[in-house]
A and B are shown apart, each in its own frame.
Chain A
C-alpha cells in the first residue's frame, strides 16, 4: 500500500490520466495542480488557474486527454493540452449555485455537472458554434446533487442528492448520439426521464456517492445515515441495503460485479459483498494496513497520569488513529482493472494524502477476506 502526502491541505477532488502517470488534484483552493510520477516521488508539473472559487470536481477523459473541472464559482472549464500547456474553455452551465461534481461520459462526448441549483447540467460540444452548450435535468430533484455516475451505455446517469434520494436519469442528447437500446433500467429514454428513484423508509440521509457496476445493471449508493444500498435494474427493481455501525461513507465503487469498496469518515476503506441471488448485502471487512498491537507494559507513573487526565487507567490513547489515512477519505478511484476486476484503487482525503491500494495484497493480508 503506497501512501503519499501531497500537501497539508485536504484534497478536494482528484483525477488520473489514462496511464496513471499523472494526477490532477485540488488542494482545497481555487487551483488544480497536476503532479507527474517520477519513481517514488511526485513532481508538480502544471498549475491550472482559472476558477474563482474552490474546485469541487475534476474528471480526466482518458482517451481524448481533456480535463473538465467545476467549481464553487458556478463555472466549469474544459482544459485541453496544446504544446504542453493546458488551456481552459469556459462552459456556460446556467446555474446560480456552486457546482459540486462533474463526470465525463464513457464516450467522452458529453459530461454532466451536479450543482446546488437542484439540477444536473448535461453539456455537449456544438460544432456549428464551436461552443459547449448544456441541457438541464430539473424534475424531480429537490436539493443539491452531490454525486454522479454514468452508465456504460453513455446515456443513463445516476445522481445522488441531498433530498435523500438516488435516481437514474436519461441524459440522451440527440445531437451527439444514436438512440440507445433498451437496458435493465427501462427502454424509453427521452432526455430528463427518471427511470429509477430510491425510496428510503424514514428519510435516509444525503446520498454521498453513487456508482454503476461494470455491466450497468447494478447501482450502489452510500448515504449519510451510515447505510449502503444496491439496486438491481429489472422488472422487479430490488433494493438491498445495509445499515452499518460506523460513520457515514462518502464514496463508493464496484471492484467486481459483486464486491463494493466504500470509504468515508472512518478513514479506512471498507468492503461489502452483494449476493444477487439472495438479494443481500453483507459487510466484508475493513481494508487497512494491519498495525502491530502495542504490547508494552504500562508503568505505575503512567497509570496515575492516565487516571489524572482521563479518569481511566487504560493505556491506549484514542487520540491517535492507526489507519493509513489520518482524516476522512473523500474520493475513491479505480486505477487498474476497471470495475469488473479491479486490481488497484486510489483514495484521497482530507489529510492531504493519497493512498494506492492493491487488491491482491489486501486479500492476502486480511484473512477471511474474499473478493469475488
Chain B
C-alpha cells in the first residue's frame, strides 16, 4: 500500500527507445564529410569574389555526419558568405545556383533561423525571399521533410 511516490524518474523514461518496431534511418556513412573548405571560402571572400565563395561554401554539405561541430562550423561559414553579399547582388547569387543548390541554400537558411545572432535574421530573410522565388514552396517542403539535414 505505501508505495514510494516521491521519485518521478519513471516519467523521464523514453518508452519509444524500447519499441521493437521503432523506425531507424539507414546509416549513410557520413564520417568523412567535413563540410565546406574554410580556407578556400575565406580567401574567396577576401578577394571579393562572392559568387565563387557561394559556390564553394555550398560544396560538401555535412548532411550525413553526426558530428555537431562540423555542422556548426559549416553553418557559420555559410552565414559569413551570405552576410558579405550586397543586398542588390543576392538575386544574382541565387540565380547562379542549380536546383540542388537552391534546396541546399534553403536548408542552411532555416538552420540559420534556428540560432539567430545580432544581424543574421535580417540577412537570412533577404536570402529567403530570393531563394523562395527561385525554388518555390517545394524547396521549403524539402527542408521540412529531409531526414538528414545540414
Contact = CB atoms under 8 A, between A and B. Distances in A.
A123 to B, nearest CB: 23
Interface stretch (B6-14, B38-46, B72-80, B133-141): B133-141
Contact of B138 (A163, A164, A204, A226): A226
A205 B142 CA distance: 8
B138 A205 contact: no
Nearest to A199: B26
A340 B137 CA distance: 32
Contacts of A203: 25, 145-148
Contacts of B136: 244-246
B141 A248 contact: yes
B99 A243 contact: yes
B137 A245 contact: yes
B18 interface: no
Q: State the main secondary structure of chain B at its contact with A.
A: helix
Given A243-B103, A245-B136, A202 B141 contact: no
B23 A226 contact: no
B94 interface: no
B68 interface: no
Given A143-B23, A203-B148, A245-B135, A224 B141 contact: yes
A226 B21 contact: no
B99 A224 contact: no
Nearest to A118: B21
B145 A225 contact: yes
Nearest to A205: B145
B82 to A, nearest CB: 22
A246 B23 contact: no
10 contacts: A118-B21, A143-B23, A203-B145, A224-B141, A225-B145, A226-B137, A226-B138, A227-B142, A244-B136, A245-B136
Interface of A: 118, 142-143, 163-164, 202-205, 224-227, 243-248
Interface of B: 21, 23, 25, 63, 99, 103, 135-139, 141-142, 145-148
